[in-house]
Structure 1
Amino acid sequence: MSTAAVGLRRNPAATFWGSTNGKKAVMAVTGAILFGFIIGHLAGNLQIFEGREKLNAYGRFLHSIGELLWPVRIVLIVSVLLHITATVQLWLLKKRARPVGYSRKEAIASSYASRTMYWSGPIVLAFVIFHLLQFTAGYIHPESQFIEGDVYHNVVAGFQVWWVSVWYIFSVCLLGFHLSHGISSMFQSLGYNHPKHTPVLKSAAVAIAVIITLGYISIPISVLLGIVK
């Protein structure tokens, strides 16, 4: 037995990570952390409907606790990296287990959300990076000036550019598909799988994903329609 194999057996963390169930558990836990951030971020963003002062006050509050935000940011970054790594490694294991594809692939038991899980994740990640560069850093702000501290202006001016809003809506819809499958899979990965409760959990996951998606896309749509000016 090689030294690496012996080390893997003696290290519980490495053994856990090396197993399929371990990777699924890591995906579930990191997914839950990221889901909490999505909910909190949505709650903050929806304050745009309460007016400029309310949203800008929220922005000033986040800026005032900047040092406390760094531990949160570190946890989120680590969660994203672990989530993506576990997803890619599980996909490679699945592909390795069946190197020859089906002669006729029928998506009977799988949903559209589950079939798009692997490629929707990277697209959403690309969207998040673009979103941060536009609204947080101000490096990408087409057709308008980025004003430091005026969150309301930056959001409205950004979404008045039609292709920015379309990209945002498209990415958030993909996020919704990702969530609808990910939420129900999280419970299965943690061992909570029962014929009686699983259909209910899947329906609840879809409902939650739809609500979150509508909440996020309501902002660019309201800007484009002139409801938020």
Structure 2
Amino acid sequence: MAVTGILLVLFLFAHMLGNLKIFVGQSSFDEYAHWLRALGTPILPETWFLWIQRFGLLAAVIGHIVAATVLAVRARRARPVRYAHRPKVQGSYAARTMRWGGVIIVLFVIYHILDLTTGHLNPIGDKSAPYGNVVADFAPDRWYVTAFYTLAILALGFHLRHGIYSALRTLGQQTADGERNARVIALGVAVVLCAGYLTVPFAVLTGLVT
């Protein structure tokens, strides 16, 4: 679960950096999007690298979900008889909502693919105009899209904060100093990714990007 999570976090950073190119200008953003489609040519046919990447990400997501399910089953089997009285555990909000956060993230990814990848839910849906698709998607009259996007990114942030902390602990940060470092790193990564992803829709919504 830790390894698949780290792979997904690396993708999130790469994707975020690509999204932020929208602030450089329309031509730069469109060129980047077209470059992604041509990546790997002429060794690979156009868009094949993207599909290889998508299948790799899908495998990582499935592996992550399977690992989470296995851990949940193991935890339940470890205590087959419920406590007669179980005091409340003061866990973090992120820890208590990991599952619901995961569901929101999965639903958002499905919508995001249909919106900005295939174009079926986008007002323009023109694969040759990536910049225009983004601007049309987060236009002020489509504020509900930005609201759903924000909800999903915040859910992702909570998921990342707890998940990265747990992954670092799993991979060896078992000392007191290691625990503090893991918390700081997890919070920092979550904040950076949330801020990076939310700047684009709010820039369009407020007219900074048109």
TM-score normalised by length of structure 1 = 0.82
| 1:178 aligns with one of 156, 159, 184 | 159
Cα deviation for residue 106 of structure 1 reads: 2.1
- Say yes or no: does 1:154 pair with 2:136: no
Contact 2:169–2:182 under 8 Å retained in 1: no
> What amino acid maps onto 1:178 in structure 2?
H
> What amino acid maps onto 1:170 in structure 2?
L
| 1:131 aligns with one of 112, 134, 140 | 112
| 2:170 aligns with one of 189, 194, 199 | 189
Runs of 4+ aligned residues of structure 1 deviating over 6 Å after TM superposition are: none
CA RMSD of aligned residues (A): 1.5
- Name 2:89's counterpart in structure 1: 107
TM-score normalised by length of structure 2 = 0.89
Contact 2:157–2:191 under 8 Å retained in 1: yes
Structure showing greater radius of gyration is 1
Matched residue of 2:124: which SS? coil
> What amino acid maps onto 1:93 in structure 2?
R
For 1:101 and 1:215, the matched residues in 2 are separated by: 43
Contact 2:161–2:189 under 8 Å retained in 1: yes
Cα deviation for residue 147 of structure 1 reads: 1.7
Cα deviation for residue 107 of structure 1 reads: 3.2
Deviations 1:119-159 (A, max 9, x none): 21121011011001000101112xx3222211110011011
For 1:213 and 1:195, the matched residues in 2 are separated by: 27
Cα deviation for residue 185 of structure 1 reads: 0.9
Instruction: State the number of aligned residues.
Output: 200
Matched residue of 1:34: which SS? helix
Cα deviation for residue 194 of structure 1 reads: 1.1
| 1:47 aligns with one of 5, 12, 21 | 21
CA 227–103 in structure 1, closer or farther in 2 if over 3 Å, else same: farther
- Equivalences for 1:1-229 in 2 at 5 Å? 27-65=1-39, 66-99=47-80, 100=82, 103=85, 105-108=87-90, 110-141=91-122, 144-160=123-139, 161-229=142-210
Deviations 1:78-124 (A, max 9, x none): 1100100111221122233335267454232x211111112211210
Matched residue of 1:212: which SS? helix
Contact 1:30–1:80 under 8 Å retained in 2: yes
- Name 2:43's counterpart in structure 1: none
> What amino acid maps onto 1:146 in structure 2?
G
Percent identity over the alignment is 38
User: Which is further off, 205-214 or 87-96?
Assistant: 87-96
> What amino acid maps onto 1:30 in structure 2?
T
For 1:101 and 1:151, the matched residues in 2 are separated by: 54
Contact 1:56–1:150 under 8 Å retained in 2: yes
